[in-house]
């Protein structure tokens, strides 16, 4: 028996021939669909971070004076500020420091509150997730229900009514819906609170009481988001189902004498769900970025309200971090949707 | 078209679908009142619930900067930290933490005796060393709305635990003790300037009547009663108030503030605009109140002149040199109908503007007789411009200077306060009517506008507002030559005005000081570097069913430079 090293061509190191095929196999996963999608996501985030860096530095105004939030600065204090915040370094060096900070998730200090940005961002993100998560459940339930009802009964009066309703809801301005709901349910009926996430100065005897209070505050903002967003899901589901309904396998199922309800759920909805699922994942990302209006109307202390406040006071560290977090959530949601979609539909992976 | 035309046989009939939908709707209708009727939390008693657009800027009193023009932050600082002196309900400075105040050396030395046995919220004793560190911090950093008041302060001595001696360059007209929260030396004493900038102060250890319970930025600030405070009646002090807590909730818009008050979710609002306030007036359980304010809305004109070359613009100025001609500025003042601005922008809730101090300042306010006010007379404006040689020679509706330069100006407005761009939109046609061109109304956010006006001097005209402390010095200081690149929003500098401003700062005789303050106002009025458009009223509203003891304080129910309201309110 000959040792592998003896078969190697002259000049090659012992063992190279044996390692090469195995090495290729070892790194083959890098060319797989998930790896490529993850790499794309990382590159997207890097581009967003870079864009963020230059965007905020291109804005008019002197950063040192913004940090001080005071024009009355002595030249010494002004220089000291520029030095301590690294503003005297060359732009490329500031950029490298910035990237390092992102890697460490060091978000800096809020110009306004003088607190670490992460301390402002964390509760705001949590509150926004509660709001968008609840809204997403409503959108999912009602969007699918309307979409299925309309799509399954394509061309009927039900379809027309539901489609028109979906289009109408889709075109309503968010702030108007919010104000109308407040007017009806808070001011006129007195059922639900106007604003905030908890009652001011409430005493909670049990955790359940606190949860109930939060739910009461959550109903109107979540309903507002759901009302203006449910239309898109309903329409996509309706169209997908209507297309699927014409497929041969649906006809075959019917010919086999299956019950209509079985045909709808097992063959219709399951196949029509794929594009709707993608839209749902994207909607989550878009909702995160698009709750500003709702949060402002209801004073919901989430990411949108934090950004609204930061824009008004030019609190750049808060804005930078918020933009990055939102971009990261959108990228992550899209990535997860793609990966999950590829599991559901193998054709995606092979293409 | 019939439902029978569905593409496949129905999994459910239309009747079933309608029945399901109806049941779901009924269930939702029934569930809503069940969810809402059982209140999640009981509302604590003796709590002042305050709805405000901006609850707080920073817990760091040293770093309270520009945002503090709303006095939202100092208002809360003053509840957590004691001060040597404070403003009472009449806006008069009175002793607070100090029990005695003695002037010597012609009023340039002020000796305070501190209350004995006062402790910070963490149980540590408050001594004169804490006062010394606090005053030195405010003086050395020169930060915030009150920085200017500490400028005449030269040295601070603490000869023993209860004595503090302040040495001023001249007798201060207003003792800066009314502004200065007393901070614990062990926390603040050794901070470098950089540490100071980065210090969030999220524990807020003070010695005042309330202590910090919870601060969620952009959401709420909760202060709890400090039962050990020396000032409460239960401890032998003068304050009868019985508030258990003050909760300030940040609401993102005035509509939400008003609706929260209607819905009994808050007890008192912050400042409201006239249309929202009008909607609250007369509602059951709500008292909508209009106070003379310490506010003024104006437009400032860039008059930055080269001191070495009078009549010529300063090399650093980006303003239109034509605005250095006082006749053009006077014509502008005549062209503007201030009553119209008050009626439209303020909904009639305010007074038309004249001088740089608002009428809420009391005797310090200089009343300009109606007949001597340069206001609302376009013919007079045209006459002034004609006589000055600014004539429309090419018939395009815009006047030109003799050298052909057009009277064409830029007008900026802060986009943060709604009414400021509205003023600008109304002023534009008024000025165009007398032959000036306004290139546009450029709305900018405050940081950009502050940089443009206060730092870069790169503007022609801009609309702005001031919320002044109840003392003339702050407002008069803005037009001081020393404020170039700082607070000056005209770059106006006049030797006579400057002398009067400085003299009134150290004038101990109230009558003489008042005369100086009046004269300074007249000089600045005649210079037409400001066009004071209006003095808005302070419009607020509060509920009458939860708390009692509301008192009238000039400049508002709350956030009015005095903390007295918080110290007298009690449970209904």
Quick check: B65 and A205 CB within 8 A? Answer: no
pLDDT at residue B184 in the model: 97
Which CATH class for the A124-349 domain?
mainly alpha
The model's confidence at residue B20, banded by pLDDT at 50, 70 and 90, is low
pLDDT at residue B327 in the model: 96
User: Is the CA virtual torsion B165, B168, B171, B175 positive or negative?
Assistant: negative
Q: Which of A55-59, A135-139, B29-33, B491-495 has the lowest mean pLDDT?
A: B29-33
Quick check: A305 and B218 CB within 8 A? Answer: yes
The model's confidence at residue B80, banded by pLDDT at 50, 70 and 90, is very high
pLDDT at residue B332 in the model: 97
The model's confidence at residue A84, banded by pLDDT at 50, 70 and 90, is low
Quick check: B42 and A298 CB within 8 A? Answer: no
pLDDT at residue A80 in the model: 67
Closest approach of chain A CAs to the CA of B44, in angstroms?
6
Quick check: A62 and B263 CB within 8 A? Answer: no
**pLDDT tens profile A179-192:** 999 999 998 998 99
Interface contact A205, partner B, CB < 8 A: yes
Indicate whether A17 pLDDT > 50: no
Q: In chain A, pLDDT over 90 holds for what percent of residues?
A: 18
- Measured between beta carbons, the chain A residues lying within 8 angstroms of B5 are 155-156
Indicate whether B30 pLDDT > 80: no
The model's confidence at residue B200, banded by pLDDT at 50, 70 and 90, is confident
Indicate whether A225 pLDDT > 80: yes
Quick check: A114 and B487 CB within 8 A? Answer: no
Among A126-135, B43-52, B134-143, B501-510, the range of highest mean pLDDT: A126-135
Quick check: B487 and A61 CB within 8 A? Answer: no
- Measured between beta carbons, the chain B residues lying within 8 angstroms of A149 are 17
Quick check: B262 and A187 CB within 8 A? Answer: yes
Question: By C-alpha distance, which of B71, B81, B77, B78 is closest to B59?
Answer: B77
Q: Which of B147, B252, B450 sits opposite A308 (nearest CB)?
A: B252
Query: Hey, which residues 59-88 in chain B have their CB within 8 Å of chain A?
Result: 59-60, 63, 65-67
Give the C-alpha separation, A298 to A334, whole Å. 28
pLDDT at residue A15 in the model: 45
**pLDDT tens profile B453-463:** 888 899 999 99
pLDDT at residue B26 in the model: 66
Biggest CA–CA distance in chain A, Å, is: 93
Indicate whether B198 pLDDT > 60: yes
What does the mean pLDDT of chain B come to? Answer: 87
Interface contact A13, partner B, CB < 8 A: no
Mean pLDDT of all residues in B103-113: 91
Interface contact A237, partner B, CB < 8 A: no
Indicate whether B85 pLDDT > 50: yes
The model's confidence at residue A65, banded by pLDDT at 50, 70 and 90, is low
What does the mean pLDDT of chain A come to? Answer: 80
**pLDDT tens profile B547-565:** 999 988 877 888 888 899 9
Query: Hey, which residues 101-130 in chain A have their CB within 8 Å of chain B?
Result: 109-110, 112-116, 119-120, 123-124
Closest approach of chain B CAs to the CA of A338, in angstroms?
32
pLDDT at residue B66 in the model: 41
Give the C-alpha separation, A248 to A255, whole Å. 10
Entry field: residues in chain A: 351
pLDDT at residue B144 in the model: 55
pLDDT at residue B494 in the model: 94
Of B511 and B556, the structure prediction assigns the larger pLDDT to: B511
Nearest CA in chain B to A315: B447
Indicate whether A71 pLDDT > 70: no
Closest approach of chain B CAs to the CA of A346, in angstroms?
29
- Does residue B40 lie within any of the structural domains? no
Interface contact B485, partner A, CB < 8 A: yes
Q: How many CB pairs under 8 A join A and B?
A: 247
Q: In chain B, pLDDT over 90 holds for what percent of residues?
A: 58
Question: By C-alpha distance, which of B470, B507, B503, B498 is closest to B173?
Answer: B507
Q: How far is CA A265 from the centre of its chain?
A: 29
Interface contact A45, partner B, CB < 8 A: no
Question: For residue B308, with 0-12 CB atoms within 10 Å meaning exposed, 13-18 middle and 19 or more buried, which class applies?
Answer: exposed
Six-digit token pair at B351?
């007074």
Q: Are B224 and B213 in contact (CB under 8 A)?
A: yes
Question: For residue B182, with 0-12 CB atoms within 10 Å meaning exposed, 13-18 middle and 19 or more buried, which class applies?
Answer: buried
- Measured between beta carbons, the chain A residues lying within 8 angstroms of B418 are none
Q: Which of A5-14, A213-222, A325-334, B386-395 has the lowest mean pLDDT?
A: A5-14
pLDDT at residue A312 in the model: 73
Mean pLDDT of all residues in A58-77: 61
Interface contact A332, partner B, CB < 8 A: no
Query: Hey, which residues 299-338 in chain B have their CB within 8 Å of chain A?
Result: none
- Measured between beta carbons, the chain B residues lying within 8 angstroms of A80 are 193-194
Interface contact A299, partner B, CB < 8 A: yes
pLDDT at residue B250 in the model: 87
Residue ranges of the domains in chain A?
23-103, 124-349
Interface contact A96, partner B, CB < 8 A: no
Number of alpha carbons in the 13 Å side-chain half-sphere of residue B333? 25
The model's confidence at residue A66, banded by pLDDT at 50, 70 and 90, is low
Q: Which of A215, A259, A301 sits opposite B218 (nearest CB)?
A: A301
Closest approach of chain B CAs to the CA of A96, in angstroms?
22
Element (H, E) at A35: helix A33-58
**pLDDT tens profile B282-332:** 899 999 999 888 889 999 999 999 989 988 999 999 999 999 999 999 999
**pLDDT tens profile B145-158:** 676 678 788 999 99
The model's confidence at residue A77, banded by pLDDT at 50, 70 and 90, is low
pLDDT at residue A281 in the model: 74
Quick check: A305 and B65 CB within 8 A? Answer: no
- Does residue B257 lie within any of the structural domains? no
Mean pLDDT of all residues in A88-108: 82
Closest approach of chain B CAs to the CA of A280, in angstroms?
23
Q: Which of A156-165, A332-341, B23-32, B558-567 has the lowest mean pLDDT?
A: B23-32
Residue from B150, B202, B218, B283 whose CB has the most chain A CBs within 10 Å, to mutate: B218
Interface contact A312, partner B, CB < 8 A: yes
- Does residue B426 lie within any of the structural domains? yes
Of A52 and A78, the structure prediction assigns the larger pLDDT to: A52
Give the C-alpha separation, A302 to A5, whole Å. 64
- Measured between beta carbons, the chain B residues lying within 8 angstroms of A106 are none
pLDDT at residue B362 in the model: 86
Beta bridge partners of B411: B441, B461
Q: In chain A, pLDDT over 70 holds for what percent of residues?
A: 81
pLDDT at residue B4 in the model: 40
State pTM to two decimals: 0.79
The CA-atom distances, in angstroms, between A270 and each of A103, A240, A281 are: 41, 10, 17
Quick check: B40 and A199 CB within 8 A? Answer: yes
Residue from A162, A201, A218, A245 whose CB has the most chain B CBs within 10 Å, to mutate: A201
Quick check: B198 and A72 CB within 8 A? Answer: no
CATH of the domain at B527: 3.10.105.10
Indicate whether B188 pLDDT > 90: yes
- Does residue B415 lie within any of the structural domains? yes
Question: For residue B108, with 0-12 CB atoms within 10 Å meaning exposed, 13-18 middle and 19 or more buried, which class applies?
Answer: middle
pLDDT at residue A315 in the model: 78
Q: Which of B5, B7, B35 sits opposite A245 (nearest CB)?
A: B7
Mean pLDDT of all residues in B239-243: 92
Quick check: A120 and B66 CB within 8 A? Answer: no
pLDDT at residue B557 in the model: 84
Mean pLDDT of all residues in B172-182: 86
Number of domains present in the structure of chain B = 1
The model's confidence at residue A23, banded by pLDDT at 50, 70 and 90, is low
Q: Which of A156, A193, A195 sits opposite B5 (nearest CB)?
A: A156
- Does residue B545 lie within any of the structural domains? no
Quick check: A156 and B42 CB within 8 A? Answer: no
Quick check: B65 and A311 CB within 8 A? Answer: no
pLDDT at residue B2 in the model: 41
pLDDT at residue B151 in the model: 77
Q: What is the CA radius of gyration of chain A?
A: 27
Q: How many CB atoms lie within 10 A of CB B513?
A: 19
Mean pLDDT of all residues in B473-492: 86
Interface contact A18, partner B, CB < 8 A: no
- ipTM, two decimals, is 0.72
Interface contact B28, partner A, CB < 8 A: no
Angle between helix A316-344 and helix A270-290 axes, rounded to 10 deg: 180
- E strand map for chain A: 202-203
- Domain hosting B452: range is 295-536
Give the C-alpha separation, B338 to B427, whole Å. 9
**pLDDT tens profile B366-384:** 999 999 999 999 999 999 9
Quick check: B265 and A69 CB within 8 A? Answer: no
pLDDT at residue A87 in the model: 73
Quick check: A199 and B265 CB within 8 A? Answer: yes
The CA-atom distances, in angstroms, between B557 and each of A193, B210, B239, B289, B292 are: 24, 19, 17, 8, 11
- Does residue B456 lie within any of the structural domains? yes
Quick check: B448 and A314 CB within 8 A? Answer: yes
Residue from B2, B4, B5, B7 whose CB has the most chain A CBs within 10 Å, to mutate: B7
- Measured between beta carbons, the chain A residues lying within 8 angstroms of B202 are 115
């Amino acid at each position: 028996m000959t040792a592998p090293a003896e078969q190697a061509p002259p000049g090659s190191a012992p063992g190279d021939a044996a390692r090469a095929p195995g090495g290729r196999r070892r790194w083959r996963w890098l060319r797989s669909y998930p790896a490529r999608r993850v790499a794309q996501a990382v590159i997207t985030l890097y581009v967003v971070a870079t864009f963020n860096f230059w965007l905020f530095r291109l804005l008019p105004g002197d950063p040192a004076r913004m940090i001080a939030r005071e024009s009355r600065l002595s030249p010494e204090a002004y220089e000291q500020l520029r030095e301590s915040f690294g503003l005297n370094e060359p732009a490329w060096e500031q950029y490298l420091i910035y990237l390092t900070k992102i890697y460490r998730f060091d978000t800096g200090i809020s110009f306004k509150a003088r607190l670490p940005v992460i301390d402002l961002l964390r509760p705001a993100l949590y509150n926004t997730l509660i709001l968008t998560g609840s809204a997403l459940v409503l959108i999912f339930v009602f969007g699918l229900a309307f979409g299925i009802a309309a799509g399954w009964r394509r061309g009927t009066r039900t379809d027309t009514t539901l489609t028109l309703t979906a289009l109408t809801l889709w075109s309503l301005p968010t702030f108007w819906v919010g104000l109308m709901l407040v007017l009806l349910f808070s001011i006129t009926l007195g059922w639900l609170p106007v604003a905030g996430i908890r009652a001011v100065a409430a005493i909670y005897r049990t955790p359940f009481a606190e949860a109930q209070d939060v739910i009461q505050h959550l109903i109107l903002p979540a309903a507002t988001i759901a009302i203006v967003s449910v239309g898109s899901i309903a329409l996509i589901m309706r169209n997908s189902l209507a297309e699927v309904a014409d497929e041969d396998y649906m006809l075959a199922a019917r010919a086999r004498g299956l019950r209509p309800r079985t045909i709808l759920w097992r063959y219709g909805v399951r196949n029509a769900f794929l594009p709707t699922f993608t839209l749902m994942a994207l909607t989550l990302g878009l909702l995160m970025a698009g709750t500003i209006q709702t949060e402002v109307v209801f004073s919901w202390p989430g990411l949108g309200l934090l950004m609204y406040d930061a824009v008004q006071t030019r609190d750049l560290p808060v804005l930078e971090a918020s933009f990055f977090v939102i971009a990261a959530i959108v990228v992550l949601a899209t990535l997860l949707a793609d990966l999950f979609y590829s599991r559901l539909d193998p054709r995606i992976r092979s293409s | 078209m019939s439902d029978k035309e569905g593409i496949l046989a129905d999994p459910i009939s239309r009747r079933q679908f309608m029945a399901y939908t109806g049941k779901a709707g009924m269930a939702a209708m029934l569930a809503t009142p069940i969810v809402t009727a059982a209140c999640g939390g009981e509302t604590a008693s003796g709590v002042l619930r305050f709805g405000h657009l901006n609850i707080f800027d920073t817990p760091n009193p040293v770093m309270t900067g520009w945002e503090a023009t709303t006095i939202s932050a100092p208002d809360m600082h003053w509840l957590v930290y004691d001060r040597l002196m404070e403003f009472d309900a009449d806006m008069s400075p009175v002793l607070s933490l100090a029990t005695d105040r003695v002037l010597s050396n012609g009023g340039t030395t002020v000796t305070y005796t501190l209350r004995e046995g006062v402790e910070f919220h963490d149980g540590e004793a408050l001594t004169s060393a804490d006062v010394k560190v606090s005053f030195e911090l405010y003086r050395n950093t020169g930060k915030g709305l009150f920085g200017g008041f500490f400028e005449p302060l030269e040295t601070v001595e603490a000869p023993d635990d209860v004595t503090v001696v302040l040495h001023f360059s001249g007798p201060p007209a207003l003792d800066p003790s009314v502004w200065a929260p007393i901070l614990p030396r062990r926390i603040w004493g050794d901070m470098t300037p950089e540490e100071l900038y980065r210090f969030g102060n999220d524990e807020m250890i003070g010695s005042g009547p309330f202590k910090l319970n919870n601060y969620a930025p952009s959401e709420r600030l909760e202060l709890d009663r400090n039962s050990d405070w020396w000032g409460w009646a239960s401890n032998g002090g003068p304050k009868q108030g019985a508030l258990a807590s003050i909760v300030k909730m940040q609401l993102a818009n005035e509509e939400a503030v008003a609706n929260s008050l209607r819905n009994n979710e808050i007890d008192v609002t912050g400042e409201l605009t006239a249309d929202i306030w009008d909607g609250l007036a007369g509602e059951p359980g709500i008292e909508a109140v209009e106070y003379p304010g310490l506010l003024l809305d104006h437009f400032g004109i860039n008059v930055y002149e080269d001191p070495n070359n009078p009549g010529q613009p300063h090399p650093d100025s980006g303003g239109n040199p034509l605005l250095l001609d006082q006749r053009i500025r006077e014509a502008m003042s005549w062209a503007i109908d201030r009553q119209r601005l008050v009626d439209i922008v303020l909904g009639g809730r305010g007074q038309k503007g004249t001088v740089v101090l608002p009428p809420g300042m009391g005797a310090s306010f200089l009343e300009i007789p109606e007949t001597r006010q340069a206001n609302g007379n376009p013919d007079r404006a045209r006459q002034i411009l004609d006589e000055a040689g600014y004539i429309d020679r090419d018939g395009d509706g815009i006047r030109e200077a003799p050298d052909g330069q057009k009277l064409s100006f830029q007008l900026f407005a802060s986009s943060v306060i709604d009414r400021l761009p509205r003023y600008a939109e109304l002023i534009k046609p008024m000025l165009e009517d007398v032959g000036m061109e306004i290139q546009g109304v450029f709305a900018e956010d405050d940081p950009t506008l502050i940089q443009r006006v206060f730092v870069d001097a790169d503007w022609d005209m801009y609309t702005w507002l001031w919320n002044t402390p109840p003392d003339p010095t702050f407002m008069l200081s803005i037009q001081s030559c020393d404020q170039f690149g700082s607070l000056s929003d005209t770059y106006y500098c006049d030797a006579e005005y400057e002398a009067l401003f400085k003299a009134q700062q150290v004038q101990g005789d109230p009558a003489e000081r008042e005369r100086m303050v009046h004269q300074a106002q007249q000089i600045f009025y005649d210079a037409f570097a400001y066009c004071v458009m209006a003095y808005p009223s302070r419009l607020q509203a509060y509920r009458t069913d939860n708390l009692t003891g509301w008192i009238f304080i000039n400049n508002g129910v709350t956030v009015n430079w005095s903390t007295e309201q918080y110290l007298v309110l009690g449970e209904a």
